[in-house]
Amino acid sequence: MAESRLNMTDYSGLDTRLEELAENINAMFLLFNAIIVSLMQAGFACLEAGCVNSKNVTNIMMKNVMDLFICGIFYWLVGYSLAYSPGNMFLGYTQWAGVGVPEGRLAHWFFQFVFAATAATILSGAVAERCNFAAYIVYSSVISGF
């Protein structure tokens, strides 16, 4: 009886299961690293708060939180489509507002979104105490969306 169980081993679905496992490990790796990069947002907020007058610390913190939200909206609406959707060799012109993004690419979307938000936050340190809040929101939406 034990011999018959050993001979009846079936490896037919093993290739697909290994491919799914590899895709899941890649997605986990991307999400883990995206979370680490997103911690840079807190670091830049603290750095900017330490460089400005104490009366402007609340404004700086609010600016950095809003930067993340604005970047998320505009990167979802426009930015990812321009950078990564199918189109011509220069710009993509499909997948606006996340429509048609394959499920397996959502971890990639989040990873790229975090980098776009970090790029906008890095530049926000240069305009600390020098820029109106509404003007900064416009600037952040343009940087993250285009």
Lowest mean pLDDT among 1-15, 49-63, 109-123: 1-15
Q: Do 121 and 67 meet the contact criterion of CB atoms below 8 Å apart?
A: yes
Q: What are 15-57's pLDDT values in tens digits?
A: 888 888 998 899 999 999 999 999 998 998 999 889 888 888 9
Q: Per the confidence metrics, is the pTM higher than 0.95?
A: no
> What does the DSSP assignment read for 25-72?
HHHHHHHHHHHHHHHHHHHHHHHHHHHS-GGGHHHHHHHHHHHHHHHH
Q: Do 144 and 74 meet the contact criterion of CB atoms below 8 Å apart?
A: yes
Which one, of 114, 110, 97, 96, lies nearest residue 39 by Cα?
114
Average pLDDT for residues 46-71, to the nearest whole number?
89
pLDDT at residue 35 in the model: 94
What is the C-alpha to C-alpha distance for residues 46 and 15, in angstroms, rounded to an integer?
Answer: 48
